[in-house]
C-alpha cells in the first residue's frame, strides 16, 4: 500500500513518467501501470473532475447533444441578470483564447455581453479582427463594438477592420452607399475569409433585442407578422430557424446569414433573459448557423424542457 501510494504520488502529483518511476523502484513500466490501476481500485487514488462553480457540465453536454452543437458552455444563472451577462462575456473571452489559432480571421459582433468579453480579453494569438456589423449609437457606451474590435486586435497584434457606420439605415440606397465606403468595404471583404465568428442572439421584443428597440413601431409590427422571433446580427429568423427575408436585409450594415453559414466556427452568446429569449436561442440553433453556444442555465433548462427527445 505504501508503494502504491508512493508511485501514485510520483505519477499524479509530481508529473513523472511511468518509465522514470519504473527506474526508481526497480520495476517494469507495465508493473507501474498495474500499480496505478490498483491504487485507483483500492481508493488510494480518487480522481475528482470539477468545473468552476459557475459552469454546469451536465447541462452543457445535454445542450450539445440535443441541438447537435460542437460545444456548449452553460454558466449558472444568477438572480442578478447583469452578473450573469458579465459571466457570459468572461467565458467567451477565455474561450477565444483557447480556440482561435494564429493567422485566423476573427469576426466580432456586438451585444452587452460581448462588450464585457472585450473588456475581459487578456490573450489572443496573432490574427485579423473584423467587425461584423455596424453600431447602434444608443448602445455604444465605452466605445461599443468598434472599441471591442480594436482591443482584440491590439491583444492579437494583428490588423483591425472596424466599421464606423450605423447598423440600421433608413433605406437601402443609404446602406448601399455606406457599404461602398473604402473602410467599410475593407471589413466586408473579409467576411468570406472568416474562420471564427462571435455573434449574439437577440429575441424579438423590447427587452431581448437591441435591433427591435432601434426599429419604429410599424417595422416591428410588420416583421412580427412575418413570424420573426429571433435575430443574429440583424438577420431575422422564425421559430423553426428559417431566415425571414424583408426590406431590413438591404437596410443593415452587417454580415449576412449565408456568409455565417460558411464560417467554420460560429460562437453564439445569449442569456440573462426570459422565456422569449430562450425561444429565440432555440430558433437560432435550429437555423444550423451556430456551432458553439455560450448561455446560462435558465435558458438551457427552458430549451431542454421543450425540446423533444432525439
In the numeric block, which cell numbers belong to residue 90?
468572461
Read off the pTM: 0.81
Dihedral angle computed from the Cα positions of residues 119, 125, 126 and 127, in that order, rounded to the nearest 10 degrees: -70
pLDDT attached to residue 138: 59
pLDDT attached to residue 123: 87
Give the end-to-end CA distance of the chain in Å, rounded to a whole number. 47
Residue of 2, 5, 13, 29 whose CA lies nearest to 21? 29
Residues whose CB is less than 8 angstroms from the CB of residue 112 and which lie 6 or more positions away in sequence, other chains included = 85, 139
pLDDT attached to residue 95: 94
Residue of 99, 65, 91 whose CA lies nearest to 271? 91
Task: Say if residues 243 and 235 touch (Cβ distance below 8 Å).
Answer: yes
pLDDT in tens, the chain (310 residues): 889 999 999 998 888 999 999 999 999 999 999 999 999 999 999 876 665 658 899 999 999 999 999 999 999 998 888 888 888 988 999 999 999 999 999 999 988 778 888 778 888 999 999 999 998 765 545 456 788 899 899 999 999 999 999 999 999 999 999 999 999 999 999 999 999 999 999 999 988 888 898 899 999 999 999 999 999 999 999 999 999 999 999 999 999 999 999 999 999 999 876 888 999 999 999 999 999 999 999 999 999 986 554 4
How far is 109 from 127, CA to CA, in rounded Å?
16
DSSP class of residue 176 equals H
Task: Say if residues 263 and 195 touch (Cβ distance below 8 Å).
Answer: yes
Residue of 28, 58, 131, 91 whose CA lies nearest to 297? 58
Domain boundaries, given as residue ranges, for the chain: 1-42, 55-305
Find the helix or strand (DSSP H, E) in which 124 lies.
none
DSSP class of residue 168 equals B
pLDDT attached to residue 192: 96
pLDDT attached to residue 226: 95
CATH, domain range 1-42? 1.10.10
pLDDT attached to residue 207: 85
N residues, the chain: 310
Task: Say if residues 116 and 86 touch (Cβ distance below 8 Å).
Answer: yes
CATH, domain range 55-305? 3.40.50.1360
Amino acid at each position: 500500500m505504501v508503494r502504491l501510494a508512493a508511485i501514485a504520488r510520483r505519477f499524479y502529483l509530481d508529473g513523472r513518467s511511468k518509465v522514470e518511476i519504473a527506474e526508481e523502484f526497480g520495476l517494469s513500466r507495465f508493473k507501474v501501470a498495474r500499480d496505478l490501476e490498483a491504487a485507483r481500485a483500492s481508493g488510494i487514488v480518487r480522481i475528482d473532475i470539477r468545473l468552476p462553480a459557475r459552469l454546469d457540465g451536465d447541462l452543457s453536454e445535454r445542450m450539445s447533444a440535443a441541438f447537435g452543437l460542437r460545444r456548449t458552455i452553460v454558466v449558472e444563472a444568477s438572480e442578478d441578470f447583469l452578473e450573469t451577462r458579465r459571466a457570459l462575456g468572461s467565458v467567451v473571452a477565455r474561450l477565444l483564447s483557447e480556440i482561435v489559432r494564429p493567422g485566423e480571421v476573427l469576426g466580432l459582433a456586438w451585444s452587452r455581453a460581448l462588450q464585457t468579453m472585450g473588456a475581459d480579453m487578456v490573450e489572443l494569438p496573432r490574427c485579423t479582427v473584423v467587425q461584423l456589423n455596424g453600431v447602434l449609437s444608443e448602445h455604444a457606451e465605452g466605445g461599443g463594438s468598434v472599441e471591442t474590435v480594436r482591443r482584440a486586435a491590439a491583444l492579437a497584434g494583428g490588423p483591425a477592420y472596424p466599421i464606423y457606420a450605423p447598423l440600421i439605415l433608413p433605406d437601402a440606397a443609404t446602406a448601399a452607399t455606406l457599404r461602398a465606403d473604402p473602410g467599410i468595404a475593407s471589413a466586408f471583404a473579409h467576411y468570406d475569409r472568416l474562420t471564427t465568428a462571435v455573434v449574439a442572439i437577440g429575441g424579438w421584443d423590447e427587452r431581448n433585442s437591441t435591433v427591435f428597440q432601434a426599429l419604429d413601431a410599424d417595422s416591428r409590427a410588420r416583421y412580427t407578422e412575418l413570424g420573426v422571433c429571433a435575430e443574429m446580427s440583424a438577420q431575422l429568423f422564425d421559430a423553426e430557424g428559417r431566415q425571414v427575408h424583408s426590406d431590413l436585409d438591404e437596410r443593415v450594415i452587417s454580415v449576412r446569414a449565408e456568409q455565417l453559414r460558411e464560417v467554420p466556427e460560429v460562437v453564439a452568446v445569449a442569456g440573462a433573459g426570459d422565456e422569449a429569449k430562450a425561444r429565440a436561442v432555440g430558433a437560432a440553433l435550429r437555423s444550423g448557423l451556430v456551432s458553439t453556444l455560450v448561455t446560462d442555465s435558465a435558458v438551457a433548462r427552458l430549451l431542454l424542457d421543450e425540446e423533444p427527445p432525439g
